[in-house]
Amino acid sequence: MNKIKVDADGKLCVQIRPDMKSVWVIADPHFLHDNLCKEEYCNRPEDHSERIFKNLMAIPEGDLLICLGDLSIGKENEVYERFVMPLKCRKILVKGNHDRKSNTWYLNHGWDFVCYAFSDDYFGKKILFTHYPRPADGYDYNIHGHLHNNIYKWEKLTEENKKFINEKHILLSCENNNYKPLKLNYVIDKIEKFRLINAFKEK
The identity of residue 200, as a single letter, is F
Q: Which residues contact 5 (CB under 8 A, 6 or more apart)?
A: 12, 13, 15
So what's the pLDDT on residue 202? 56
Asked which of 20-29, 50-59, 61-70, 139-148 is least confident by mean pLDDT, the reply is: 20-29
At 121 the three-state DSSP class reads strand
Residues in the chain: 203
162 dihedral zone (left: phi>0; alpha: psi -120 to 50; beta): alpha
Task: Check if the beta carbon of residue 147 is closer than 8 Å to that of residue 155.
Answer: no
Is it true that domain 3-199 has CATH number 3.30.2450.30?
no
- Residue pLDDT, tens place only, 84-134: 999 999 999 999 988 989 999 999 999 999 999 999 999 899 999 999 999
Half-sphere exposure of 168 (CA within 13 A, CB side): 20
H helices of 19-112, in order, are 48-57, 76-79, 103-107
Per-residue pLDDT at 37 exceeds 70: no
Lowest-pLDDT range, 22-31, 42-51, 162-171?
A: 42-51
Q: Are 111 and 93 in contact (CB under 8 A)?
A: yes
Mean pLDDT of 69-87: 90
Residues 190 and 203: their CA atoms lie apart, in Å, by: 21
Sheet with 141-144: list strands edge to edge: 117-122, 125-130, 141-144, 169-171
Lowest mean pLDDT across 39-48, 55-64, 125-134, 139-148: 39-48
DSSP 82: I
List, for residues 159-194, the tens digit of each pLDDT value: 777 889 999 999 998 888 999 999 999 999 999 999
Q: Are 58 and 29 spatial neighbours (Cβ–Cβ below 8 Å)?
A: no
pLDDT at residue 39 in the model: 63
Which of 166, 199, 184 has the alpha carbon at shortest distance from 67?
184
pLDDT-derived band at 63 (thresholds 50, 70, 90) equals very high
Which is more confidently placed, 182 or 6?
A: 182
H/E segment holding residue 14: strand 12-15
Is this structure's pTM higher than 0.75? Answer: yes
Q: Per-residue pLDDT tens for 141-161?
A: 999 998 877 766 677 777 777
